[in-house]
Amino acid sequence: MKRIKKRYYVLTSLALIVFLLLFFLSTIIRNYLNNNSQELIGRKVELENLHINYFRVAVRAINLKVYEANATDTFAGFKELYVNFDPTRLLRNEYSFSSILLDSLFVKTIQDEQGFNFDDMIPAEDTTAVEVTDTIPSKPFRFAIHNIKFKQGHISFLDKTVDNEMKLENFSLDLPLIAWDSESSDVGIEFQLGEKGKVYVGAHVNQRKQEYNVDFRVDKFGLKDISSYVENTIDVGGIDGYVNANLKIYGSIENTMEVYVSGSTSVDSLHLWEPDGTDLFWVQYAGVNIDTLDIASQRYNITDISINQPIITASLQKDMSNFERVLLPVMETDSLATDSISTIDSTATASELRYRVGQFKITNGEVKFTDNTLYRPFIYDLKAINLDVKNVSEKAEEVPVNFAINLNDQGKLSGQSTINMLQPEIFDLQAKLEKLKLLSFSPYSEYHIARPITQGRFSYDLSVNMTPTHMTNTNDIKIKELEIGDKTTEEPQIKAPVKLGLYLMKDPNDAININLPVEGNPSDPDFSVSKIIWKALSNLIIKAAASPFNALGNLVGTRPEELENIPMPYAQDSLSIDQRKTLDKIAHILEKKPQLNFSFVQQTDPETEKNKLAILMAKKQMLAEKMPLNNEQQIARYNERLNEMEDSDPEFMNYIATKVQGSEGVALSNACRNLVGENEVNDAFTKLLINRNENLSYYLLQEKGVDSTSIDISTADLRNLPEQLKSCNYKVEVSID
């Protein structure tokens, strides 16, 4: 009896020891990990709590932190890890987990010139290890994992080599089942990328059919998050914008090249700028709708490509353009790659490429162009660029192209063409350039013939029909009221008798009309359409010059030069008596010659005009402070005083000296601009230009009864105005439709 009781005591003691061991096992493991992590993995680890549920065969780890090598900064960790094992499946020789949950995983990866911040955790390769091959076939490894979930994860990658950081916020993963014998499985991944970007990946894998399909969506991924990489690739100052995508991807697990893609991608507010901050490229929206991309067969079917409001800032220097400079690093790399590719066996063949684009469309584009290769910069804006191309494919023999361009608000180019994709040398083109103002091209005429273009309108009807062996080209050119100014001090690139050619080319209506047909064999190496046409146009420009208004002057008994220009003092905002008399004569000419059209182009020297405006505004400010304006008599005295006041008026000079500190020794105009304010002067200058045009229009249309279709009133392109035209006046041009 005593021996039996003694055995019970032993069993009870063993059971108690096992119970206590199991009860404190989680604490033992946690303490061991916290105290020995440095020796185990080379990093300090802190685990706040560990729970083992023996009845459910589950383990829960709470608040794990893995530190950097400095044992101070945090490298990775999580809020909670829960693993639930299903031991009943062991009876079937299968390892099964009923649930795995990872909550608030965070990882901070850093890369610098020495490598990654986790390199020290990767064991060195054992080069002496011998791989042992088991020649006995083994049974398949059986496993099943249910309900795999990651939620609220945070992963960041700091690349110090380019000073760029990428963040994946609110990372989540939902994988219902992954098992050794499952015929299909599903997975869902979702996370925030950058400040606004959201990414979702949903995938379905069919193991039995060896197929997969992926639903991939990206919403507002910010390109500024990868700006450092772009700057490191091409010579730009940065990139911004948002990328969106909604793609369906189907493919084969066995044949990795068998991939099919459909859906849409787009970019919003794309902005690219140069290192000095100058804009390079901006587009409001660019999108691609994909019908099918068959990667293996190289069949690409795109529904449409649309680009809305692209703006290109292009500049040309003597050595290269700004785009060539930006792409120079890539071009240098590509040249090296081309040398390497040339050594590849040229007998290798690829499957035939086939593609189709239903529509390619550019809407409301703009090109801001500056040419710095001349004696002075040429600045020109191409606006409202619209391009529509349909049904492009590798075998399309007739691809319709329609285009239209606004030329600096001073002309319009439009037309249509048909392109043969099988034989690009077969095409036709019809284009029309309407009433292009030539004054803006003065920097080119000054460079080539050392004379500015002071006025003129250019119209051009072009037709081209070309085959590999024959081309017919018609060029209908009309230049009205072309005038060439006085010779500049620069050396001309082309030397020719300009004024002599003028009288040979102009007709009695002061117009140049040329119909220039060109015909020949494009396959002839000496044949060049552009050289023939350019030679004819060069001859026209060289020969063109201003014709006097002799005939029109005789009609109203006045000198021709009195009709060609309407001069006015700087800062004048109303018509004088002499100016009205000149307009009266022009109105009388239109009564006798109603088929004529007069255009009035306002010209001025912006800086001189602003200086005069600033002085006038300062005088008004002084008088407004000193003189009451409560009745008509006081207003009349105010206007009389303003009109008679000289710039050197002692009272005015004393006022400026009082109001503007340090005005002594400073030009009066600069002191007045300082007093009035530069923004106010600029606004007054803009309003003055508009007011002059409105006064001129009102006098001719309302007071003189001139037909509105007979006059055109505008302001010259002051940015490209030649120096000799920088005086305050209206340049008068006359033409016949």
Q: What total of structural domains would you count in the chain? A: 2
pLDDT above 90 (res 349)? no
pLDDT above 90 (res 45)? no
The strand pair at 453-466 and 211-222 is best described as unpaired
pLDDT the model gives residue 32: 75
Residue 335 lies in a domain: no
Report d(CA 52, CA 43) in Å as an integer.
24
Report d(CA 173, CA 731) in Å as an integer.
73
pLDDT band at residue 532 under the 50/70/90 scheme: low
pLDDT above 60 (res 60)? yes
Q: Look at residue 690 and give its three-state secondary structure.
A: helix
pLDDT above 60 (res 293)? yes
- Higher-confidence residue: 122 or 266? 266
pLDDT the model gives residue 100: 84
The C-alpha torsion from 559 through 561 and 565 to 571, rounded to 10°, is -80
Indicate the range of 99-103, 328-332, 712-716 predicted with least confidence. Answer: 328-332
Residue 20 lies in a domain: no
Q: pLDDT tens digit string along 492-506?
A: 887 765 543 443 455
Residue 436 lies in a domain: no
pLDDT above 90 (res 437)? yes
Residue 684 lies in a domain: yes
DSSP 32-84: HHHHHHHHHHSS-EEEEEEEEETTTTEEEEEEEEEE-TTSSSEEEEEEEEEEE
Altogether, the residues listed in the chain come to a count of 737
pLDDT the model gives residue 329: 83
- Higher-confidence residue: 268 or 524? 268
Report d(CA 171, CA 153) in Å as an integer.
4
Which residue in the block uniquely carries the two structure tokens 């992963």?
Answer: 155
pLDDT the model gives residue 138: 54
> What CATH number does the domain containing 692 carry?
3.30.1330.60
**Stretch 477-499: mean pLDDT:** 77
The C-alpha torsion from 26 through 30 and 32 to 37, rounded to 10°, is 150
Report d(CA 714, CA 716) in Å as an integer.
7
Burial 249-283 (b: 16+ CB within 10 A, else e): bebeeeeeebbbbbbebbbbebbbbbeeeeebbbb
Q: Domain end: 158, 182, 206, which one?
A: 182
Residue 249 lies in a domain: no
Q: List the domain range (segments joined by +) for residue 105.
A: 38-116+142-182
pLDDT the model gives residue 343: 46
Dihedral angle sign, alpha carbons of residues 525, 531, 535, 536: positive
Q: pLDDT tens digit string along 612-629?
A: 999 899 888 888 888 887
Residue 206 lies in a domain: no
Spatial CA neighbour of 439 closest among 716, 723, 737, 729: 716
Report d(CA 495, CA 482) in Å as an integer.
19
Both tokens of 17, joined, read 């020891």
pLDDT above 50 (res 541)? no
Residue 570 lies in a domain: yes
**Stretch 436-459: mean pLDDT:** 89
DSSP 261: E
Residue 100 lies in a domain: yes
| Partners of residue 435 on adjacent β-strands | none
pLDDT above 70 (res 407)? yes
Which strands, in side-by-side order, build the sheet including 711-715? 565-567, 729-736, 596-603, 711-715
3-state secondary structure 352-412: CCEEEEEEEEEEEEEEEEEECCCCCCEEEEEEEEEEEEEEEECCCCCEEEEEEEEECCCCE
CA separation, residue 96 to residues 57, 176, 376 (Å)? 11, 13, 79
Average pLDDT score, the chain:
82
| Partners of residue 45 on adjacent β-strands | 66
261: CB partners within 8 A, 6+ apart: 247, 248, 249, 250, 290, 292, 293, 295
